[in-house]
Amino acid sequence: MLFGKIMYGIIITSFIIVFLLFNLVESDARDKIRSELVNDQKIHGETMTKHNSHLISNEFVIILEKQKKLALYVQHNSYDSSIDISELALDTYSDIESRMGIFALSILDNDNVIKIRVKNGTLTEEFVGQDTSELKFVKEFNKKQKPLISEVFLGLDNYSRITSTYPVFDEYGKLIGSIVVIINPSSFFQKFDDTYGLSSDVLTIIDKEQQIVKHSVPELIGENVFEKKIQSQLNIDGSDNKINELMRKSFSGDDVSFISEFDGDEKLTFMQPIFLNDEQIFTIILSIPLEKIYSKPQSILLSAEYIVYILIGVTGSISLISFYFIKKQFLKREELQKFSIIGELSARIAHDIRNPLNNIKLSADLVSRKNSDEKLKPYFETIDKNISRISHQVKDVLDFLRKSPIKKEQVNIKVLIDNVIDSIQVPANISIDVSDCSFNANVDKIMMESAFSNLILNSIQIIGDKNGKITVSIKEKDSQYSITIEDSGEGIDSKIIDKIFDPLFSTKMEGTGLGLASVKAIIEAHGGTIYVKNNPTTFTITLPKILD
């Protein structure tokens, strides 16, 4: 009787110990998983902020190029009255608005008085004749007399605005006016939320005066991040706070990341400066709630935990019931023999429990090191094999890129490439030659512009400061067209040439590692192919013909 009670006590104690050990292992694994998930998310977050920074900067480069062209017409009009500036202003507005969306375009004279204004695609008399000399951005522009992207300010219509201003000089270099593109910051920056499928409360833009330009709460636009209203939301008490130090560092041109509490939630925050012509014009802030990072892997582990708890409970119950019947049926020698069997059974049960625990631990470690769908599959398979074959696999845990649907239209590829080259600031040491062959393809114009822009910019970066040439050849084949982009740069290391289309692979310190991967995805989504060869470096793209 006493011996039976002792055995019951040993079995129950053993399972309590197993349960406690599992909780300790699981807690340690969970902490490691969280740590590794945050580290992996930092890589993705830095990539997203850098990519969006490049996109925003490129938008303003294009706006300034369009303003420059109009400024030349205005200059010629000063001595050639036959040029209709109003029509040219309408064309420029339409050209810019069709690509990125702007609020209005104004032409100012040398007294900062509005002479022509275009809004909603038509000429308007609204604010024409208005003296803008007292606006802060006008004062700054008159002082610098060079292209200027303003900070956020209260416009003549009492709404928050930012501007891109381009000077107009006469033939003697005297300032005679300016071209002003007025932008509604909320709508202008809204599209960058969709680049990686982000929610509207994730992305924030700060101007060079540390004022909020884009935020999910419109009432905060124009507020300074170091003022009490914003500091209280950031849970910052005192100007010397560590977070303030990091923010000042970013506003001085550095990219930073940190974990902070904002709006009551812990968030992983990234700050990346946005440069235009080597001058910082904005700072982009990406804040991702940690709960979003943890939630899916955590739910998977929780399912595994429940199964292990059930296994422990079922195994314990079977052991206790088995021992009860064994004890009841056998006495003395037979009872001792059964005790021996129970001992072997206990050892086997311990072995059977240890293996699932080890497998769960290994799976947890694997999840902590991997963050893409393909690499998570072994983790799910391990759990399936060792924990009663879990039926559901999580399709994606940490990936924030949603692909937008392709909107195809017939586009002349040569014209498209020419437009891309016109929108890029090509260094004086590099020439670009495009063949005369022309054809129409059924493609998404915006996506294809992005692809060719990435490839040409990549060639420019490879050539660097040396004199060089980029040759774009367009050829017709049987059932497809091919486009080759060849540059005179130093070429690609043969050891890495097979990896250059892999996401996050980059050999440049400032690179995001997404450019060529994005190009490949775009081309393949259009039914085409892309490959690269060395000596010289040549990217070859094939696209299917439009069949009659």
Q: pLDDT tens digit string along 448-506?
A: 888 888 888 888 888 888 888 999 988 887 778 888 999 888 877 778 788 877 765 55
Confirm if 260 and 269 have CB atoms less than 8 A apart. yes
Tell which residue, 474, 444, 442, 447, has the closest CA to residue 548: 442
Distances (CA, A) of 383 to 357, 368, 437, 444: 10, 15, 56, 42
Closest CA to 73 of 62, 53, 54, 87: 87
pLDDT band at residue 348 under the 50/70/90 scheme: very low
Q: Which of 109-118, 209-218, 349-358 is predicted most confidently?
A: 109-118
Q: What pLDDT shows up at residue 351?
A: 46
pLDDT score of 39: 72
Q: Is 5 helix (H, G, I), strand (E, B) or coil?
A: helix
* 467-485 residues labelled b (16+ CB within 10 A) or e (exposed): ebbbbbebeeeeebbbbbb
pLDDT at 258 over 60: yes
| Residue 320, pLDDT score | 58
SS3 467: coil
CB distance 538 to 484 below 8 Å = yes
Q: What is the pLDDT of residue 262?
A: 62
Looking at the domain covering 409-544, what would its CATH class be? Answer: alpha beta
In the chain, residues under CATH classification 3.30.450.20 are 25-316
pTM exceeding 0.75: no
Distance CA 125, CA 539 (A): 51
Alpha helices of 101-181 — where are they, by DSSP H? 136-144
Contact status, residue 413 vs residue 441, Cβ threshold 8 Å = yes
Q: How confident is the model at residue 129 (pLDDT cuts 50, 70, 90)?
A: very high
Quick one: pLDDT at residue 464? 84
For the chain, residues classed under CATH 3.30.565.10 are 409-544
CA–CA distance from 174 to each of 66, 72, 156, 168, 171 (Å)? 21, 13, 27, 8, 7
Sequence-ordered alpha helix ranges (H) in 235-288: 242-251
Q: Specify the range with the lowest mean pLDDT, choosing from 8-12, 184-188, 363-367, 507-511.
A: 507-511
Work out the burial of residue 407: count CB atoms within 10 Å of its CB; fewer than 13 is exposed, 13-18 middle, 19 or more buried: exposed
CATH of domain 25-316: 3.30.450.20
**Residue 342 pLDDT level (bands cut at 50, 70, 90):** very low
**pLDDT class of 275 with cuts at 50, 70, 90:** very high
**Angle, alpha carbons 399-404-408 (nearest 5°):** 150
